Structure 1
Amino acid sequence: MISALLDRCRRYADAHLGPLGHAATPVPGLAMVRLLQPGELQVAVQKPLIAMLLQGRKRVSTHGGSFEYSPGEAMVIAADTPTVSQVTRASLAAPYYALVLELDPAILRDLSAAAPARPAETRSVRVEPLAADVVDAALRLVRLLDQPEALAALGGGLLRELHYWLLMGVHGPAIRALGAPDSHAARIGRAVGLLRRDFARAIRVDELAEAARMSEPAFHRHFRAITSLSPLQFQKQLRLIEARRLMLAEGKEISQAAHAVGYASVPQFTREYGRLFDVSPGKDMRLARTGA
């Protein structure tokens, strides 16, 4: 089934490829990635997701360690987590393809009663072989992408089924807390949602703690435990990552991107950009234009 899923994803991604090698789909949170050559290091603050690797190879580093995975394996990220990743195997003859699904806490919450309670998983990132039931549900969902009427009628059910098989499999303990409204992961997730929506404005810590329904000391402690960053560091990374997307994917000038994400000082933006990406904004843009 992996080869059938690869074939379907290849055809869809090749026909709908957008900036930076991503192909969006009509299904909320579902996208595909295609790259034709090994890539540079990519810094991101990932949402909870499952990334199913179908062809190529990728290495991902987090505060918890490094992971390298291959076709037939999936990486699950069970909390908003900063990552540094790199596609290590891709070519014109055999491009890198992956199917990525952002996990929906509302669906997980709905399904949690049907999934057996198991010991909590402390790792927020893990790599495991893809389960046959997960691949089967993903394949049936991807088959509907070019059939809008069928997708409208059946897509929601297949998306729910895909979440169910993830909960029932080896990834279940890691993602179960995302659907529990009073878990620390869910509470911090509400604060992270506020940061993601309004990262360009100054947000006070007491506002974030209120969103999480925690005291400020407890909020600081659990936020760092789950994301590995302080709220200020988290917001800064969100700003810089979005600025990079604006420059490389939309062609914005450095000052335009800096101001769009909330920086009043372009020199400060340039310094912090260089510290995060290990390259200046100007050089990054030149490298992107030349494909170097």
Structure 2
Amino acid sequence: MDTDLFNAARRYADSHVDANGVAKTPIPGLVILRETMPTPLQYAISKPLVALVLQGTKRVSIGKSTFNFGAGESLLITTDVPTVSQITKASLDQPYYSFVMELDAKVIAGLVMEMGSAPFSAGEPVRIDPTETEVADSALRLMLLLDRPGALSVLKDQLIRELHFWLLSGRHGGAIRALGVNDSHAQRIARAIALLRSNFAKPIRIEDLADAAGMSLSAFHAHFRTITSLSPLQFQKQLRLIEARQAMLASGSTISSAAFAVGYESVSQFTREYARMFGIPPARYIREAKSRMQSTG
């Protein structure tokens, strides 16, 4: 683990972390995560990102695959996929810290054009590897800019670009490159996913998603499942349920208002599908979440 990067991230997170363990930064797509105890299971449909773990350990599952990783290792997610994660080692004396940066497809596309032709492939959407020195060095210099607003506005774009360059040059550059290759399957499906994310609470026609991807219906279904591990309708359902779960916790929405807000017309159907996905009914989730907040508050 890079000690300088750890110290810079720790100082920033300790000063800026919110109640959810997230320290947002003025750099788009960059957050520092900090937790002082192991967490419950956390469900998300993650965007492409890289997460450098600086202290503590975490577990991430996608489908039937589970990955455990800790300080000095990086998590790389190269497509929008449903994940179940849990911080497994964290304490008041030694909190969990990680540097998390969303991958920028536009930056990747520009770099791919400059770097020239090279193999690309979707491959496995989740990977764990030792953090590469050049990536950690770029991350450190981004962190140091946070204390210098004048320099941040001038230099952040080139440092974000540099971090992406080193990721593209690394052992899994081929999978990242697919995000920036014009008209690749990954890029086409990303267009459909963007449409799904912005309209998840509304009925949406599969034909419209296929049109956004520029694919026939059969090709769209096949490539969508290959890349995300879900069908488009399963993807939308998980987006709805995750959004409702967050609303019930963050804003105190009732079960019925959360269900209707994400597009359900039946509260009983919402309750059944919520329990099927998360393992407990929403009423029990709310009770247990409130109990945890009271015990730590």
TM range (shorter): over 0.9
Letter in 2 for 1:66: T
1:197 aligned partner: 198
TM-score relative to the length of structure 1: 0.96
1:188 aligned partner: 189
CA deviation string 1:53-104 (max 9, x = no partner): 1110011111362111110100101111111111111111111111111100
TM-score relative to the length of structure 2: 0.95
* Equivalence map 1:199-238=2 (5 Å): 199-238=200-239
Note the C-alpha offset of 1:121. Answer: 5.4
* Equivalence map 1:83-232=2 (5 Å): 83-115=83-115, 117-118=118-119, 120=121, 122-232=123-233
Stretches of structure 1 that go unaligned for 5 or more consecutive residues are none
Quote the sequence identity (%).
Answer: 54
Q: Which 4+ residue blocks in structure 1 deviate beyond 4 angstroms?
A: none
Residues 77-86 or 228-237, more deviating: 77-86
Root-mean-square deviation (CA, aligned residues, Å) is 1.4
Change beyond 3 A, Cα 1:72–1:282: same
Q: Is the 8 A contact 2:51 2:98 kept in 1?
A: yes
Stretches of structure 2 that go unaligned for 5 or more consecutive residues are none
Q: Is the 8 A contact 1:64 1:123 kept in 2?
A: no
Note the C-alpha offset of 1:118. Answer: 3.6
- Alignment partner of 1:49 is 2:42: no
1:5 aligned partner: 5
SS in 1 for 2:54: strand
CA deviation string 1:182-202 (max 9, x = no partner): 110110000000111111101
Aligned length: 292
SS in 1 for 2:230: coil
Note the C-alpha offset of 1:8. Answer: 1.2
Q: Is the 8 A contact 1:20 1:249 kept in 2?
A: no
Change beyond 3 A, Cα 1:38–1:221: same
Note the C-alpha offset of 1:119. Answer: 5.8
CA–CA distance in 2 between the matches of 1:19 and 1:195?
29
Note the C-alpha offset of 1:114. Answer: 3.8
SS in 2 for 1:288: helix
CA–CA distance in 1 between the matches of 2:252 and 2:74?
33
Letter in 2 for 1:261: V
Letter in 2 for 1:56: G
Note the C-alpha offset of 1:271. Answer: 1.1
